Amino acid sequence: MEASTKSQKFSANLDSLGHIREFITDSAKLAGLDKSKTYKLCLAVDEIATNIINYGYLRSGIENGIIDITIQITKDQLIAILEDTATPFNPFDRKMPNEEELKKPLEERQIGGLGIMLAKENVDEFNYLFQNGKNLNIFSINL
Amino acid sequence: MSTLSVKTDISNNAAIITLEGNLDSSTAPQFHEAVQKVIPQNPQELVLDVEKLDFMASAGLRVIIFAKQKLGSTAKLILVKPQDQLIETLKMTGLLFSVTLVDHYPE
């Protein structure tokens, strides 16, 4: 298969989340991903998009924000790149719950950190870069 | 735009919340509101019918954790027919330790 690239811009509000998942699902279909991998990619992207919208843009008071999503499909990978011009936000700086925390009864659990964890654990590779004033969140799935 | 339908029933000592559609950050407030509504009834069982719930992000997990924290350790959290992908998320986040999965409610 020839490598292919497509991209789409979404306005940075929570109502876009459903559209973003649709775009990811359609792209996954093109790449021939199965239902489980497609869901996992949607979940990972949804979590990071939510953070960009809520923290990067809204909480920083930036209006009319955009999330630009590019999908690259190669012979053996699907790569989804989320690009935004919001406040720099490195998901790897966030503390994630450790093994011990995850085993605690819910009454004793901290509520935060799950989103980033789901973003990392549901794809084969997850990377973050801040480049030319833009946040880049890069997800890779092996085909 | 994603949509979520939330239906709430109280019967005996159980609160049953039926969730259909997509539970993400845009729709989680509806689920949160339903949970807030049943907490004062002090149900011994919180039953989430999720058979037709197609997607759940961490925003939904946070509401479940919140509910359990409010209801206390003696209250039982029951999930009816979660889809495979949701079970996978519960496993990954450790929530599976704290919920009971059933095929029907009442059993």
SS3 per residue for chain A = CCCEEEEEEEECCCCHHHHHHHHHHHHHHHHCCCHHHHHHHHHHHHHHHHHHHHHHHHCCCCCCCEEEEEEEECCCEEEEEEEECCCCCCHHHCCCCCHHHHHCCHHHCCCCCHHHHHHHHCCCEEEEEEECCEEEEEEEEEC
Which class is domain B4-102? alpha beta
| Minimal Cβ distance to B61: which of A46, A114, A121 | A114
CA distance A75 to chain B (A): 26
* % pLDDT > 90, chain A: 77
Rounded CA gap, B57 and A47, in Å? 7
Q: Give the mean model confidence (pLDDT) for residues A108-134.
A: 93
Size of interface A-B (CB pairs under 8 A): 88
Reported as a single tens digit per residue, the pLDDT across B46-96 is: 999 999 999 999 999 999 999 999 999 899 999 999 999 999 999 999 999
Q: Please check the confidence at residue A11 and state whether its pLDDT lies above 60.
A: yes
Annotated domain spans of chain B: 4-102
Structure tokens at A3: 């490598």
pLDDT value at position B29?
97
CATH of domain A4-142: 3.30.565.10
Q: Do B25 and A14 touch (CB under 8 A)?
A: yes
ipTM of this complex prediction, to 2 decimal places: 0.94
Q: Do B93 and A118 touch (CB under 8 A)?
A: yes
Give B1's pLDDT tier (boundaries 50, 70, 90): low
CA distance B7 to chain A (A): 21
| Minimal Cβ distance to B1: which of A18, A43, A122 | A18
* Mean pLDDT of the residues in chain B: 95
Give A94's pLDDT tier (boundaries 50, 70, 90): confident
pLDDT value at position A105?
85
Q: For residue A86, what are the CA distances in angstroms to A20, A53, A95?
A: 18, 9, 21
Task: Report which secondary-structure segment, H or E, holds B57.
Answer: none
pLDDT value at position B41?
92
| Minimal Cβ distance to A46: which of B57, B68, B72 | B57
Give A2's pLDDT tier (boundaries 50, 70, 90): low
Reported as a single tens digit per residue, the pLDDT across A56-84 is: 998 888 889 999 999 999 999 999 999 99
Q: Do A50 and B57 touch (CB under 8 A)?
A: yes
Judged by DSSP in three states, B10 sits in strand
Burial code (b: 16+ CB inside 10 Å, e: under 16) for A94-114 equals eebbeeeebeeebeebeeebb
